[in-house]
């Protein structure tokens, strides 16, 4: 199928983009890398009247460390972030998870912020943002606001972002000294969305596990360490978490299989994160 017809705007500045978005509201869509939006347009799942192209806005091509955060602007591609030499020290979870996002061809065009704005429950970048306690910086023509990642995602392809707002940047906290991180996922083939993905962080006092692909949004749980070790009742805790996540049967996997993956991969990544604390 081919998309319904639309107008195309390549604004010179972010202010121009925001003005167009304010004028068109629900009838406009931002296009960044187009790796999710183009298929949706082709299948006519969305039929915007106007596409506003962000991909060449240099103002949004920002990637920097500021005040303890790694800030990633809306025009930064997944490949650009992955090729950052210091990423493994700054946000090790992202460095581990990004190679699982699609293929190098899709990462060359797909943006980090686009993945967050798209809010697929199986996507790795939103999972890392929730797992690390990251934030989303939203902007419209009048103001900016910052939302915690845990409050940003509402469900599949649904977030708190208003129609006239863009995701201007996302911010990942720099990894704390003494913390360990691990990521694993199971998918049908490498490059597919995860059937279940698990991201673990262990610091001096607690362990956390974020899970994607089971609930309708990435979901995080914490447990206190017991004398520097994982909790003795971890299997029971993981089992309870797996059931709390819900999850449905679909064409890729049963809910039962997903729960089993949470129990198994969850334990594996928590043990890896504990053992690789720096």
Residues binding ligand FAD (CB under 6 A): 29-37, 54, 74, 101-102, 106, 110-111, 113-115, 117-118, 120, 123-125, 166-167, 191-193
- State in angstroms the smallest separation of the CB of 49 from ligand FAD: 13
Angle at 126 between CA 68 and CA 123, to 5 degrees: 145
| Nearest residue (CB) to ligand FAD, 55 versus 201 | 55
- State in angstroms the smallest separation of the CB of 180 from ligand FAD: 24
| Nearest residue (CB) to ligand FAD, 5 versus 177 | 5
Query: Which of these, 236, 226, 188, 187, lies nearest to 204 by C-alpha position?
Result: 226
| Nearest residue (CB) to ligand FAD, 23 versus 236 | 23
| Nearest residue (CB) to ligand FAD, 26 versus 66 | 26
DSSP the chain: --PPP-EEE--SSHHHHHHHHHHHGGGEEEESS-TTHHHHHHTTS---SEEEE-TT-GGG--EEEETTEEEEETT-BHHHHHT-TTHHHH-HHHHHHGGGSS-HHHHHH-BHHHHHHHT-TT-HHHHHHHHHT-EEEEE-SS-EEEEEHHHHEEETTEES--TT-EEEEEEEEPPPTT-EEEEEEE-SSTTSPPSEEEEEEE-SSEEEEEEESSSSS-EEEEEE-BTTB--TTHHHHHHHHHHHT-----SS--HHHHHHHHHHHHHHHHHHHHHT--
Cα separation of 126 and 212, whole Å?
9
- State in angstroms the smallest separation of the CB of 21 from ligand FAD: 9
- State in angstroms the smallest separation of the CB of 37 from ligand FAD: 3
| Nearest residue (CB) to ligand FAD, 124 versus 135 | 124
Contact 209, 130 (CB under 8 A): no
Using Cβ positions, the residue closest to ligand FAD within the complex turns out to be 110
- State in angstroms the smallest separation of the CB of 273 from ligand FAD: 21
- State in angstroms the smallest separation of the CB of 145 from ligand FAD: 13
- State in angstroms the smallest separation of the CB of 29 from ligand FAD: 4
| Nearest residue (CB) to ligand FAD, 115 versus 219 | 115
| Nearest residue (CB) to ligand FAD, 186 versus 230 | 186
């Amino acid at each position: 199928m081919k998309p319904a017809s639309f107008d195309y705007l390549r604004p010179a500045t972010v202010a121009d983009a925001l003005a167009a978005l304010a004028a068109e509201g629900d009838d406009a869509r931002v296009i960044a890398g187009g790796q999710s939006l183009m298929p949706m347009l082709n299948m006519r799942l969305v039929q915007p009247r106007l596409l506003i192209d962000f991909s060449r806005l240099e103002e949004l091509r920002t990637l920097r460390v500021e005040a303890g955060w790694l800030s990633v602007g809306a025009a930064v591609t997944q490949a650009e972030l992955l090729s950052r030499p210091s990423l493994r020290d700054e946000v090790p979870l992202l460095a581990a998870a990004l190679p699982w996002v699609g293929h190098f061809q899709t990462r060359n065009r797909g943006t980090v912020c686009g993945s967050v704005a798209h809010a697929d429950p199986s996507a790795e970048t939103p999972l890392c943002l929730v797992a690390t306690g990251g934030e989303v910086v939203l902007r419209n023509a009048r103001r900016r606001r910052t939302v915690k990642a845990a409050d940003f995602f509402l469900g599949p392809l649904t977030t708190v972002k208003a129609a006239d707002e863009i995701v201007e940047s996302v911010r990942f906290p720099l990894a704390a000294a003494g913390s360990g991180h691990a990521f694993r996922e199971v998918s049908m083939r490498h490059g597919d969305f995860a059937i279940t993905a698990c991201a673990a962080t262990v610091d001096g006092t607690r362990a956390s596990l974020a899970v994607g692909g089971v609930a309708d949004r990435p979901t995080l749980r914490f447990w206190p360490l017991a004398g520097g070790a994982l909790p003795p009742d971890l299997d029971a805790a993981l089992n309870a978490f797996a059931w709390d996540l819900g999850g449905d049967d679909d064409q890729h996997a049963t809910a039962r299989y997903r729960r089993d993956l949470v129990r198994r991969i969850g334990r594996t990544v928590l043990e890896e994160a504990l053992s690789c604390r720096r």
